Structure 1
């Protein structure tokens, strides 16, 4: 008997079936109540703007409609009366309103909503819209508003207003560069009196010129543009490089086609040298023309020869230094830099002490020579050379 009672206790405690209680959480009514509480909690999450929303029941019918009431009344279970009221947007997330303020318009654009900007007709409204876009720190919105202003404002008005709005101005300049609206970009830069940027923008046009002769003439014309001193030297180098490439290309193409050169027969050219970078041109020249006479030698009217670099010796020095050339080699080419200030800067930068010392000696600048003495090692040959020059009574120092 006790065994049977023990089995009965084990059944009720271990079985998946449980005894019925009035507090059972699994009955259908309790489940519906839980669903009602869960869905009603959505009211705290969604926007309470009743003007934009439509109330519907579980069946999808608008609340208060006769169809919905009848369907609920004749429902089989009747438990749908416990269902909460759900909401859905009336306009399917599209914006058909024309009453949005500039700030609201910008906010809706940031959320990806469709907004028409045509309602902003006056200049004041357009500028307020632009200022709100800038304040929102959203580049896409700023660009969209700028495109609208570019289309609806005269150029002089747009340029004048952007001149005092630097953030928007930078966005427009970047946009015009990306879209290739070169004429409008140049007009804007001229209005802002940014002459160097105008020159650089015009210089970039060479990228669109395919014919090398036309490109050469274009680059020659760019030399006269108002570049900075550093930039104008690069433009000059570019022009000189292309000019030399044209000569080399014409000569080598003729030799390759005629079969008169052994090196071109043994190692046929794989590409043209035109428009190649400087390093590629130097490699090409060394590979195909290494047996020819020194290309850097030029003869003057007295018959003397001197070294000449089409790209400028300051560039030669930089290339040599990047390729870890020894100081002795660097000094040889630093001495060939004609501009004294550039020569001193390069010699100081790359520790070509002899060049610095000799230059100050030639300038008869005793003060600078004494100051440079502190930059060389004590007891070195350079220090002895400086002391010898300073004690030389035959040098007429200017200071």
Structure 2
């Protein structure tokens, strides 16, 4: 019987497969090879393991080439309806990649094609495209070769560095930066990773950072500022270990200073928990010290400590302000902390420029300073209008009224 006649028999039609809709299972494919037809002996397709010789017929005698193609497609797991994927050029691949469409990277097998992909992604400047191509190169090329390609393409290198940081792949990041001679930068990334991942274990952190300090930061070529930063942090961890306070573990220097100001303010210099001792040990600047002390004691309503720290008496007995905090910044913070008008006035009088003093006095509603400033400017008209904004019979209203009546002032309007 001819092939076409065989496939048209009723028995075969009943058991036939629709290659347009179904994917053949391995069992179904095997059944095709085992199916006999009239005129064929039962043992034609039998293979006996014990026999050295096996009689086999060509597969093309059983099925047509079209059916064979469908069988192979079914074995691959692909949808028979799918069209063959055309080979994509570098330009087409990059375009589809940037537009978010399906793309084929595996068609680019040569080093030249892969390099063109990388250069094209860099030229476009799309971060996702660059990272996708770089990861493809990492998977398909020698890692050293990829690092060499990235070293001459800073944009691609920085995207990959950011990726490795995010993924916490510190070993790969170190290798990547060490190859082009960026070991100091690799050391900084290791420092950041250790601090981020170690948790609150001070002893474990100390051990790792001391090792990092001796093996990387104390090497030639490392920035001295970075080495000092790590050294100071190690010293802080040693202080935290001695303090033995879990709430201080792996906290910043200023956080520890705030704790000392709150709980050990009266400790004498030389005592480990004294704020002054910590400042000296960690080289806290006077500006940082003033800011922490101001916030700690003002928030605790200990204004007597704040005033004793920031106000002094000069040799004429006048109260003046002594602070390393810029005056406008100090005024703003004192106002936010609800400092007294008297203290605000003391700070305002420290400002030598009369225009700035008047502007800030009006901003923070320190009426006594506004009235005094307008009187010095002999601006009767503005002072009169300002008096009308005050509460009648208040102390400020009476001060403004008495100032306007002062005959010794030669008003200019």
TM bracket, shorter-chain basis: 0.3 to 0.5
Query: If the length of structure 2 is used for normalisation, what is the TM-score?
Result: 0.46
Query: If the length of structure 1 is used for normalisation, what is the TM-score?
Result: 0.47
